[in-house]
Amino acid sequence: MKIWKNYKTETAYDELMHSEFQSRPVSHGLCQYLDSLKKEDIDKRKMAAELAIMEMGITFTVYSDEGNIDRAWPFDIIPRIIDAKEWRIIEKGLKQRLTALNCFISDVYSDQTFIKAGKMPSGIINSSKNFRKECIGMKPRYNVWANICGTDLVRDKDGIMYVLEDNLRVPSGVSYMLENRVITKRVFPELFQGIDILPIDDYPIHLHNMLSSIAPHQNGQVTCVVLTPGIYNSAYFEHAYLAQQMGSQLVEGKDLVVDEDNYVYMRTIEGLEKVDVIYRRIDDDFLDPEVFRKDSTLGVPGLMRAWKAGNVALANAPGAGVADDKVVYAYVPEMIRYYLNEEPILPNVPTYLCSKKEDLDYVLEHLAELVVKPANESGGYGMLVGPQATAKEVENFRQIIQKDPRNYIAQPTLAISTAPTLCKGKLEPRHIDLRPFILQGENTFVTAGGLTRVALKKGSLVVNSSQGGGSKDTWIINMEGS
Amino acid sequence: MLSRSAERLYWLARYLERTENIARLVSVHMNLLLDLPKGVEMGWRQLILINAAEKEFYEKNNIANERNLIGFLLADASYPGSLFSSLSAARENIRTSRELLPDEAWEQVNEMYLFAKNNLDTVADRRHRVIFLNEILKGCQRFTGLLSGYMSHNHPYRFIRLGGNIERADMTSRILDLASLLLSESRSNEMRQYETILWMNVLKSLNALLMYRQQMRSRVKGDDVLNFLLLDINLPRSVGYCIAEMYDCISKLPNNDQLLLKLIDLETYVQAIDIRQTTQVQLRSILDVIQNKLGGLHTQISDNWFLTASGE
């Protein structure tokens, strides 16, 4: 079979293949099926997927000097597979982690017992860009601040899944997860017959239920809206998609107004209508020009007043980003022990904090082996992948770190796992990660799988769509009874 | 329903209606010109007269030949009244109001837009132009059918119907403007000779020939055609029918008092039109009044329900 020719699995753990010739038990069904296809068949399926993406208008926006361009979502038709038995453990670990993180955020904005108990230096919070003093004393419903979390997982050479980061501000990607499944069903409908793949399309319902559960009042109908920065935001497609799937209104800042009674209203054809819950996809900084950035035209003046008066729920709550900091990340295992009295189910990647003297020394000495990341950036910007950088880039980074050590962390370069990916009519291993989405309100919910992102460039470890990454459908397969 | 969404859906419908109208107009006109001898004062130029775009056209082109006019009307992205500009604007409006419409609605418009974009350079050639225009007409009809069958006939739907009908009434009045040439005292003998064909062409531009025959059961003649296209209460593209449709939508929308008054005023005016023995000048002035009243209606709709007073 030509498409598997010279499939190399030595350098990293491969999610589907033991070796060039042997698939893992969980991927037998898929591999057998792929084997039965001719090269032309595969090409046809790939074209069908591309056509579907164009017609469905699944795009993301790339910021560039020449203005913003809508690009078709790069999608690889070969799914990534995880055994449901393993998934159940990961799911438990994700719930545990988000629960502890929410305990931590509540604590940070109230008594700070974690810090008082000496578990974390207070300087980390005080110097965090995402710590919002305006939120001190607030008590969101169920004490949950981060209602929607996207956690990035990677598997190292040892086969263990590690948590790479927790995205607690406005994580995106879930619409692509849902659309990837729609496309796969169109392209490989035969596969869904014999294989027990867990469904994922109930996410919008769970999202809506969660949002309703955090409404300030629980009498009668709850009005939820999705607040978007607008059409020029890179995730606009997702905002519109989720609003549509939930049957909610998609609003922009100018559609909302906070009245003197400190309630939030939207401007409708019938006049002003009260809003109970806002799923906001705008960063804290731009949320309310009365409190945060004065020049923000995306936000709603007075929104923080309404939130603090308990008249509207915001998801995620302002200030939740304090735990979305790569320095704070290093303390999550300790949070789990402290707040939940449990051992962490999912391990962290070992992390060196440049704010610590001995860590900094180690990092500077081993710069060429490590991955260095800014504490507060997302999208894969501003990071250094030591083994892939030139000597000049490494030296450059040395200067940058020394100027602002608090803002940098370093981790060993993981040999993150690969999965077969269609490259010019042939399957080749490409590095992947996984972003499951976790919802927490009255209950906690984890998507069955998540968004698998793939670095389409050979050897690349950067999976972000803004930097040449694509994505795959993710299958959680139930092997029991088969 | 958000004011902003109402505005976008209204414009979405206007732009799509415009797209469909341009496609039909060009298609019918092309057929007509294949039949007519040279010398009849009915050429490609009439198409830019209908769209009131003479000035803009001559800024970009020297002569009004088929090639230039087709390029201008169908493919010119820098002329806001072109088919492609209208379709792009429709797509932009639906992209920003997806949450109110069935999935397929966005996909349908997006698909049509991609088709147009990929085939723009084929329209210069007549044979390919026919295929192109047919595809666009089909796409617009699919969209209308899809909403009618899949979408709740709620406020968002009413704004779509409202936008479609105001645009449609406007287009019908413009086509009648062109037809007024046929009433000109000074029209040439050739034109008099081809009169029936030309009146048939007016009906075809509004997809109304068959319906006219069924309704009027007489040969095609000017007075009857004008009457039919202005006043018929069953023909979806007659001015009278469009007004009735708008009345139905507006009467079910909130805060509509002022608008209903304006509509009644327009309807009264249209119903009182006496078309018999109308001269070209009289007809023109009647159509002017109708167009002005439609413009006023649009302003009122905008003031009443939208955030801003202008479209996008």
pLDDT tens string A272-312: 999 999 999 999 999 999 999 988 889 999 999 999 999 99
Count Cβ atoms within 10 A of the Cβ of residue A343 and give its class: 0-12 exposed, 13-18 middle, 19 or more buried: exposed
Q: What is the pLDDT of residue B263?
A: 94
Residues of chain B with pLDDT > 90: what percent?
A: 66
Sorting pLDDT into bands at 50, 70 and 90, what band is B212?
Answer: very high
Q: Please check whether residue B9 touches A, CB under 8 A.
A: no
Is B222 inside a domain boundary?
Answer: yes
User: Residue B312 — pLDDT band, cuts 50, 70, 90?
Assistant: very low
> Which residue has better confidence, A209 or B42?
A209
| pLDDT reported for residue A2 | 64
pLDDT of A444 above 80 = yes
Question: What pLDDT shows up at residue A147?
Answer: 98
Domains of chain A, earliest start first: 217-311 (3.40.50.11290), 352-412 (3.30.1490.270)
- Whether residue A249 and residue B99 make contact (CB cut-off 8 A), yes or no, is yes
Q: Please check whether residue B13 lies inside any domain of the structure.
A: yes
- Average pLDDT of the segment spanning A369-398: 84
In a domain, B311, yes or no: no
One-letter amino acid of B173: S
Contact between chains at A268 and B107 (C-beta distance less than 8 A): no
Say yes or no: A248 contacts chain B, CB-CB below 8 A.
Answer: yes
Local confidence band at B311 (pLDDT 50, 70, 90 cut-offs): very low
Q: Does residue B35 sit within a domain?
A: yes
Cis peptide leading into A316, omega within 30 of 0? yes
- Answer whether residue B171 shows pLDDT above 50: yes
Whether residue A230 has pLDDT greater than 60? yes
The answer as to whether B264 is a domain residue is yes
Q: How many domains does chain B have?
A: 1
Residue B94's closest chain A neighbor by CA? A240
| Predicted pLDDT of residue A68 | 55
- The enclosing H or E element of B160 equals helix B155-179
Q: Which domain holds residue B217?
A: 3-305
Q: What is the pLDDT of residue B310?
A: 36
Interface of A with B in 38-77 (CB under 8 A): 54-57
Name the band, by pLDDT with cuts 50, 70 and 90, for residue B45: confident
Q: B310 in a domain, yes or no?
A: no
Task: Out of A17-26, A230-239, A267-276, A369-378, give the one with best mean pLDDT.
Answer: A267-276
Number of A/B CB contacts below 8 angstroms equals 65
Distance from CA of B224 to the nearest CA of A (A): 41
Q: Which chain A residue's Cα is nearest to B302? A: A269
Angle between helices B239-252 and B222-231 (to 10 degrees): 0
ipTM of the assembly? 0.80
Residue B312 lies in a domain: no
Optimal mutation site among B1, B2, B112, interface A, most CBs of chain A within 10 A: B2
Question: For the ranges A46-60, A108-122, B59-73, which has the lowest average pLDDT?
Answer: A46-60
Asked if A227 contacts A278 with a C-beta cutoff of 8 angstroms, the reply is yes
Q: What are the tens digits of pLDDT across the range B93-107?
A: 998 888 899 989 999
Among B46, B47, B42, B72, CA closest to B57: B72
Q: Is B12 a member of any domain?
A: yes
On the question of pLDDT at B70 being above 80, the answer is yes
Any B CB within 8 A of A268 CB: yes
Q: How many angstroms separate the CA atoms of A142 and A439, rounded?
A: 13
Q: Flag whether pLDDT at A469 surpasses 70.
A: yes
Is pLDDT larger for residue A332 or for residue A7? A332
Q: With contacts defined as CB-CB under 8 Å, which chain B residues touch A252?
A: 4
pLDDT, chain B, mean: 90
Quick one: average pLDDT of A167-196? 92
Whether A110 has its CB under 8 Å from any CB of chain B: the answer is: no
Give the one of B99, B103, B114 whose C-beta lies nearest to A54's C-beta. B114
